[in-house]
Amino acid sequence: MKRLLMCACAVLAVAGRAEPVQAADQLERVVILMRHGVRSAMASPEDLGRSTARPWPAFDVPPGHLTAKGARLVTLMGHYYRDIYTEAGLLSGDDCDSVYYWANLTQRTERTAAALAEGLTPGCAVTIHQADQGPDPLFDAPLAGVGPVDPARVRAAILGRVGGDLAAWDRRQAQNLATLEALLLQCGGDGCQAQEIPPGVRRLSETPIVDGLGDADHLVALNSPAIATGGLMESLLMGYAQGLDFESLGWTGLDAPSLTRAFAVHAASIDLRTRTPEVGRQTSSHLAARLLATLQHGAARATVADPLGGEARLIVLAGHDGTLTMLAGLLGLDWLLPSYGPNQAAPGGGLVFELWRGEADTPYVRVRYIAQGLDQLRWATPLSPDHPPEIASIFPAGCRETTAGQDCTLDGFADLVTERIDPRFVRTGD
């Protein structure tokens, strides 16, 4: 399964613009940390329908599985990565040993890695590397027993961001929650009046506030009207991207702009639950340390963990939305794409870490978030350097050593990672 997605590209389209790289700079290694592609809803249409005025269409695969279209969409991303990194001189056409794939132990992540390989390294006999047994520390460190999880500390950190009052935080989401409920309940105005709601349908605003302790599986037990939007929003996202027929079941106004507006409350929930730095410290220190070691591979500076991928120049890690958002919260990585809410992890999208070597032999790290837009997903739009996916440039907050172009030097990135991680949650020998 070894192939490398190295970005020695001369330009990357960022938010509709071309962002130049100095001609003398050389791309040496790339790590893509991606979310799985379009999957089926985790809940049944009947369960989802308890919060909506119209019934839900059904997927044709078991709950949580990557769909056939989801695989095709990820392959389109693979073609795109191959195009830009070939143009950059990183891939040569004989790349079977240049790219390394690692996936979490779920159907949707395994199939995502394989689907990306079909576009990125076509014709190669690909090995999808995985942990010998689950849970995998890269993606599920608390469940894998990496470090002494402390749910009480996580709860305190999250509540500290909302002044100790989850209910007050939730009330601040009321306007965005009303926007989503108007879509789910198919009613107009800023909010839906009780008489407009079909019998038996439960409003999200009726969800009780819970801010209890969790365990290694769920570090905190949080719930509120805004937090309860997560499963519904992800199901709408996946159904829209899959091209399911909502219209024949009576849905109106379900399009890309309406979904983007509705994502606001979901993004706020994601930020609170997964991007609180203490969450990342306990869940993502191991992943961050191995990411750093992989970028430092071959460098003189000692690493704090084992690198991934051997001599491969491109390393692909296929995980879940929380894999990206918890790491991003730990490292201070922020992005915004036109189709999504702030820091939302889209199906098949990924954090891309590029290791470049610039003037005076100075290595630096460029970070991007790249994902297909909502309508690119729905219509399976072919991608190319001239017709790219949505791309956001990321500046790692807290990086104190930068290049003239405001990229983080490798030493600066190393300092950032080692300051943010907790060594108790890093394991070597994997």
Q: What is the pLDDT of residues 256-284, one digit of tens each?
A: 999 999 999 999 999 999 999 999 999 99
CA torsion sign for 357, 18, 372, 223 is positive
Determine phi and psi for 364, rounding to 5 degrees. -140, 160
29-41 confidence digits (pLDDT tens): 999 999 999 999 9
pLDDT at 381: 98
Per residue in 365-378, pLDDT (tens digit) is 999 999 999 999 99
Using the CB atoms, write b or e for 158-173: b if 16+ within 10 Å. bbeebeeebeebbeeb
Nearest to 354 by CA among 97, 84, 131, 138: 84
What is the per-residue DSSP string for 122-184?
TTS---EE--SSSSPTTT-TTTTT-S---HHHHHHHHHHTTTT-HHHHHHTTHHHHHHHHHHH
Residue that has been written with the tokens 């071309």 in this structure: 18
Residue 7 has what pLDDT? 33
Q: 190: pLDDT confidence band, cut at 50, 70 and 90? A: low
Residue type, 373: G
The structural architecture, per CATH, of the domain 151-274 is 3-Layer(aba) Sandwich (3.40)
What is the model's pTM? Answer: 0.92
By CB neighbour count within 10 A (0-12 exposed, 13-18 middle, 19+ buried), where does 125 fall? exposed
3-state secondary structure of 27: strand
Q: What is the mean pLDDT of residues 184-198?
A: 72
Topology of domain 2-143+283-425 in CATH is: Rossmann fold (3.40.50)
Question: Which secondary structure element, helix H or strand E, spans residue 238, and what is its range?
Answer: helix 229-242
217 falls in which pLDDT band (50, 70, 90)? confident
Query: Helix 174-184 and helix 256-274: axis angle, to 10°?
Result: 130
- Domain parsing of the chain, residue ranges: 2-143+283-425, 151-274
Domains 2-143+283-425 and 151-274 are alike in CATH topology: yes
pLDDT class of 216 with cuts at 50, 70, 90: low
